[in-house]
Amino acid sequence: MNFQNVEFLISAASPRDFPGKRLPEIAFAGKSNVGKSSVINRLLQRKSMAKVGDKPGKTVHVNYFLLDKACYLVDLPGYGFAKVPQAEKDRWARLMEDYFAANRITLGVLIVDYRHPPTNNDITMAKWFLDSGCPFVVLANKKDKLKKSELEPNLAAIRADLELPESCPVIPFSAEKGDGRDELVKWILNAVKA
């Protein structure tokens, strides 16, 4: 795997759209605007593989990409848009429940904002990953926006607020600068090989 060969597969609106063929699955989650698309683009060393800046109110989908013909890269729908109608929030919750219930995740990647304490939605999402029993990593994104004095305390706060077990790493990340990409790649390669 060299993260060079990426094909868009399908925007799944319900479980019947999830690919029938089973491959290792790397699932990316994060609140809107946390930089999820930027992280995926950084991982793939592309400018615009995943769409940057999804608009609130857009119908929620689970986006599947085939990566190096070896695994699925799954872009889960963002959460926490301020002005989303309740019906759309319900759709989001149902689709996520269906996705987690399908038990497909090989490695979860939860992206949070390194600058701020996790939101309630982030905490819920971490619980979702924890309860699913799948291995997951947390990316603390936008590291480039922090003062040096904030790096350690913010990392500790993220770990404490999300109640992460020792086995779950929090990786300082900057989609902008590329910090943390190598470590993310290592985790993905290990997960896919295992």
- Binding site residues, ligand GDP, CB under 6 A: 30, 32-38, 52-54, 78, 141-142, 144-145, 174-176
Between 113 and 192, whose beta carbon lies closer to ligand GDP?
A: 113
Between 11 and 70, whose beta carbon lies closer to ligand GDP?
A: 11
Give min distance, CB of 60 to ligand GDP, in A: 13
- For the record, the structure tokens of 159 come out as 């770990």
Between 126 and 192, whose beta carbon lies closer to ligand GDP?
A: 126
User: How far is it, in rounded angstroms, from Cα 184 to Cα 1?
Assistant: 13
Between 106 and 141, whose beta carbon lies closer to ligand GDP?
A: 141
Give min distance, CB of 161 to ligand GDP, in A: 19
Give min distance, CB of 142 to ligand GDP, in A: 4
Kindly list the distances between the CA atom of residue 116 and the CA atoms of 69, 81, 89, in Å, as whole numbers in the listed order: 36, 17, 23
Give min distance, CB of 180 to ligand GDP, in A: 9
CA 185 to chain centre: 14
Helix (H) or strand (E) holding 9: strand 6-12
Between 63 and 174, whose beta carbon lies closer to ligand GDP?
A: 174
Give min distance, CB of 107 to ligand GDP, in A: 19
Burial of 22 (0-12, 13-18, 19+ CB in 10 A): exposed
Residue 10 CB neighbour total at 10 angstroms: 14
